[in-house]
Amino acid sequence: MRKGFTRHPKPDEPATHVKNYITPSGLQRLKEEHRFLLTRERPAVVEVVAWAASNGDRSENADYQYGKRRLRQIDGRIRFLTKRIEAAEVVDPEAPRAGQAATRAFFGATVRYANAAGAERVVSIVGTDEIDLDRNHISWVSPLGRALMKSTEGDSVVLQLPGGTETLTVLEVSYECIAVEPFREPPGSESSAKRLARRRSPDAEVK
């Protein structure tokens, strides 16, 4: 068996990187949210703002003021998502790999490791837009992600923590499908409220 070694991540890596590495399913989720906001939620809020504006004094119109504020939030989120999607560097964890790329931990790897007490944990290294601690999906630029990067089975890596350091032993590195939580329409969205109102409207009932 290959003799392991202890690797110390450099303090300045990879914070200076600007590429938005992301898995295919993570990118799909960003696109679905972008499409929802642009084609459904924003038009629904615009309709509410127009209705509120027709009711008189806008300065004291709570519906109008809320709608305008909500539009600013939506537009800001759309701009953010547009930039993230345009900067995306898609990496498929299931793509064929050879040599060290198949045995070392890079973006998209699933790593099983143990701490000094012997407690084991399995994490998947994903993009900053895909972090999900409930699924043990960690960012590649997080302290743990940086510590595990480029490691292989048998290596000891040093995790930098606010209160000191912790040595972890890498037990296994693999590449497999990483299930990212799909985008779901928020239950309180304006477009959901409009659909609910239409279903309850007497005019929508089938005669």
Domains of the chain: 22-88 (1.10.287.180), 91-174 (3.10.50.30)
Closest by Cα among 119, 105, 106 to 173 = 105
Q: Give the pair of three-digit tokens for residue 157.
A: 């890596």
Q: What is the pTM of this model?
A: 0.80
Q: Taking residues 39-49, what's their average pLDDT?
A: 93
Q: Identify whether the C-beta of residue 96 lies closer than 8 Å to the C-beta of residue 175.
A: no
Cβ-count burial 150-170 (b if 16+ within 10 Å, e if not): ebbbebebebeeeeeeeebbb
Q: How confident is the model at residue 192 (pLDDT cuts 50, 70, 90)?
A: confident
Q: How confident is the model at residue 61 (pLDDT cuts 50, 70, 90)?
A: confident
Q: Identify whether the C-beta of residue 33 lies closer than 8 Å to the C-beta of residue 183.
A: yes
Cβ neighbour number for residue 74 with a 10 Å cutoff: 18
